[in-house]
A and B are shown apart, each in its own frame.
Chain A
Amino acid sequence: MQVQTHVDINSEWGIVAARQAGRKLAREIGFGSVDQARITTAISELARNIYLYANKGQIHIEELTDSGRRGIKILAIDDGPGIKDVRRVMEDGFTTSGGLGAGLPGVKRLMDDFKIDSEVNSGTKITVIKWLR
Chain B
Amino acid sequence: MRIPILKLHDYLLISVQVELDDQTALKFQEDVLNKIHEVGSRGVVIDLTSVEMIDSFIAKVLGDVVDMSNLMGAKVVLTGIQPAVAITLIDMGIVLDEVPTALDLEQGLDKLQSELEG
Q: Residues of A at under 8 Å CB distance from B? A: 12-13, 15-16, 19-20, 23, 33-34, 36-38, 40-41, 44-45, 48, 92, 99-100, 102-103, 105-106, 109-110
Interface: B85 (CB within 8 A) = yes
Q: How large is the interface on B (under 10, 10 to 19, 20 to 34, 35 or more residues)?
A: 20 to 34
CA distance A37 to B94 in the complex (A): 15
CB within 8 Å: A-B pair count: 74
Contact A12:B22 (CB < 8 A) given known A34-B83, A37-B85, A100-B59 = yes
Known: A12-B21, A36-B52, A100-B94. 12 other contacts (CB 8 A): A12-B23, A15-B21, A20-B19, A34-B88, A37-B82, A38-B84, A41-B53, A44-B57, A48-B57, A99-B56, A105-B93, A106-B93
Cβ-neighbour of B84 out of A12, A15, A33, A48 (below 8 A): A33
- B106 surroundings in chain A (CB, below 8 A): none
CA distance A102 to B92 in the complex (A): 6
| 30 A/B residue pairs, CB under 8 Å, sorted by A | A13-B21, A15-B21, A15-B22, A16-B19, A20-B19, A23-B52, A34-B83, A34-B84, A34-B88, A36-B84, A38-B91, A40-B53, A41-B53, A41-B54, A41-B88, A41-B92, A45-B55, A45-B56, A48-B22, A48-B57, A92-B93, A100-B94, A102-B59, A102-B92, A102-B93, A102-B94, A105-B93, A109-B92, A109-B93, A110-B91
